Amino acid sequence: MKIYYVRLNHIIRKTAIILLIFLAAFMAFKIIQYNLFKPAVTNFDPIYQGSAQQKKMALTCNVVWGEEYIPEMLKILKKNNVKMTFFLGGEWVKGFPDLTKEIAKDHELGNHSYSHPHPTFISREENIDEIKRTEQEVYQVTKIKTRLYAPPYGEFNNTVLQTAGESGYKTILWSIDTRDWQRPSPDVVVKRVCDKAHNGAIVLMHPTEPTVAALQVLIDDLKKKGYQLTTVSDVLGIK
């Protein structure tokens, strides 16, 4: 019995070591394959904000869920004559074409990938497919060709930036993050934006209940401070 127990222990330890070696080799392969942890050095740098010379800010909304909150957001934006940039996921557009058309009536549309993967963990070809499928889906519904790309999770490396740039896109990140996906109170959303408001700011939002509740207060506060709320293309000076 003792001999059997010792051998079993030996087998378990040996199996664990083999699994750890395999896992380490797999992670090393992924790091090499997709440049994970390598600084992004490319001709296509990500954009965090627009011009500091003009008192403008861009509100953005990444959409792959939360469709139940978008109609109310659109009402508030229309009431206040505010244009916004909505970065749409291709699968979401396919599932909600009518709501996509409603957004497109007054607002700028951007590309937020098709299936919302971690872009640094997929290949160049897969990144191209994510961007192009969304571009086609949006165009099919709205006849608008997207040219701004917000990578899922804000993740990027050389491959992601190069792929977006060579596909005709500017990679857009943000200078103010509401972190509204955490579902904080509306007051917290307002504070996170208004306390950090600055010329050329790009504000990251999502369609959530606290975002909708905070939107009117946020708009009022920023307008009182003299900011024009506009699209990403406008703060970047893109015609």
Three-class SS state of 50: coil
Residue carrying structure tokens 């861009």: 58
Answer for the pair 171, 46: CB distance below 8 angstroms, yes or no.
yes
Among 17-21, 78-82, 134-138, 182-186, the minimum mean pLDDT is found in: 17-21
Q: What value does the mean pLDDT of the chain take?
A: 90
Please compute, for residue 125, the number of CA atoms within 13 A of its CA located in the half-sphere on the CB side: 1
Between residues 96 and 3, the one the model is more confident about: 96
Answer for the pair 112, 87: CB distance below 8 angstroms, yes or no.
yes
List, in order of start, the domains of the chain with CATH numbers: 56-236 (3.20.20.370)
Is the pLDDT at 16 greater than 90? The verdict is no
Mean pLDDT of 124-138: 98
Answer for the pair 154, 175: CB distance below 8 angstroms, yes or no.
no
Distance from C-alpha of 164 to C-alpha of 149, rounded to nearest angstrom? 7
| The length of the chain, given as a count of residues | 239
Distance from C-alpha of 220 to C-alpha of 226, rounded to nearest angstrom? 10
Query: Would you say the C-alpha torsion 69, 75, 79, 83 has a positive or negative sign?
Result: positive
Q: At 155, phi and psi to the nearest 5?
A: -90, 140
Give the ranges where the chain is alpha helix by DSSP (H).
Answer: 2-34, 70-79, 90-95, 97-106, 124-142, 158-166, 186-194, 209-224, 232-236
Q: How do residues 31-75 score in pLDDT, each as one tens digit?
A: 444 454 444 445 789 999 999 999 999 999 999 999 999 999 999
Is the pLDDT at 189 greater than 90? The verdict is yes
Mean pLDDT of 217-238: 97
- CA 57-140-68 angle, 5° bins: 55
Q: What is the pLDDT of residue 239?
A: 74
The pTM of this model reads 0.83
Between residues 14 and 105, the one the model is more confident about: 105
Q: What is the pLDDT of residue 33?
A: 46
